[in-house]
Amino acid sequence: MKILFLASHWRVTLVRAFQEAKAGFEPAVELFCVDSDALAPSFKEADHSQVCPLFSDPECLQWLIRFCEAQKISALVPLTNKSIEFMQAHRQELSVSGCRLWIPENHAIETCHDKWEFFEFLTTAGFVTPQTYLSGNMAVTPTFPLIAKPRRGEGSKNVFRVEDQTDLEFYMKKYPQHVFQQYVAGQEFSVDCFFDQNGLPRLIVPRERLAVRGGEVMASRIHMDSAIIDSVKSLGVKLGLTGPCTIQGILDKSGKFNFTDANLRFGSGFVHTISAGGDVPLQMYKELAGQELGSVRSKIKAHSMMTRFPENFFSHENLGS
């Protein structure tokens, strides 16, 4: 089997986890990483790597199709929102050769990648979520503070705390495509999940976000809160999710879990869950090979901690300017 990670860039530890899961598994697995950056550090962990055009390049689709056909790629795993949306837009062309596209159905992508659509879905379905407003469309005066976020986007780029009406008017004018979400005091969680191809939840692991830098979790602690697990399971089934994903929310002081975001891919801290016993790479291998996943649940090391730090790869070859 040949699995291609699309837009792999810095996801070194994730690719490493997939490498480790290969041990003793049959059939043999080869891992490919492609990215538009020739210096993508994930290339060092892959069995094979290749620089690809930007998604905005008109040649990107045909390049990827040719590459997948030439290498006989079995499955595509996207690692960014842009790569998910690229695969969604070209679902039919990319799946012609029988390649598995590890993304959910279009309706789930469209709902989760638009923060306003996600808010409306959550509200209609009866899930707890912070009150959210569109820029310039507030029927009532909001309670401050608010969190201003791009309506579509990932990470923490252009995310701001809005303290008062002056701030609100400034950010609405500067970022008309933002949404404004009520600030909720409490503990932030990322919840790592894996839903099989039939939409059945195989793994749900809540992680407390103890330290965050630039939108990336730098320290986390697994906390197997049954109420959070049940709520996330219900959301995943309602959305019809499949594959790996990381759901984000805030456990408020009253004990309610407020959903804020849904990443339909491996979140940046998912490696913590894998390290703690969440064998998602192995489950993905089994699913792709048509093997039974079994009824045994992963034994997660509750309360395990993760702290992250930068690593380096060195090359003393002349790579040019």
Contact between residue 111 and residue 123 where contact means Cβ atoms under 8 Å apart? no
Residues of the chain with pLDDT under 70: 318-321
pLDDT given for residue 303 in this prediction? 96
CA atoms within 13 A on the CB side of 298: 24
> How many other CB atoms sit within 10 Å of the CB of residue 156?
13
According to CATH, the topology of domain 185-307 is D-amino Acid Aminotransferase; Chain A, domain 1 (3.30.470)
pLDDT given for residue 15 in this prediction? 98
- Torsion, Cα 171 173 176 181, to 10 degrees, reads 30
Q: What is the pLDDT of residues 169-192, one digit of tens each?
A: 999 999 999 999 999 999 999 999
Q: What is the pLDDT of residues 270-320, one digit of tens each?
A: 999 999 999 999 999 999 999 999 877 789 999 999 999 988 988 887 655
pLDDT given for residue 320 in this prediction? 54
Q: How far apart are the first and last CA of the chain?
A: 36
Q: What is the pLDDT of residues 82-94, one digit of tens each?
A: 999 999 999 999 9
pLDDT given for residue 321 in this prediction? 47
Is the overall model pTM greater than 0.85, yes or no? yes
Q: In the chain, what are the domain boundaries?
A: 2-102, 131-182, 185-307
**CATH code for the domain defined by 131-182:** 3.30.1490
Q: Which of 11, 56, 53 is nearest to 31 (CA)?
A: 11
According to CATH, the topology of domain 2-102 is Rossmann fold (3.40.50)
Opening angle at CA 28, ends 97 and 64, nearest 5: 30
**Tokens of residue 80, six digits:** 């960014």
pLDDT given for residue 12 in this prediction? 97
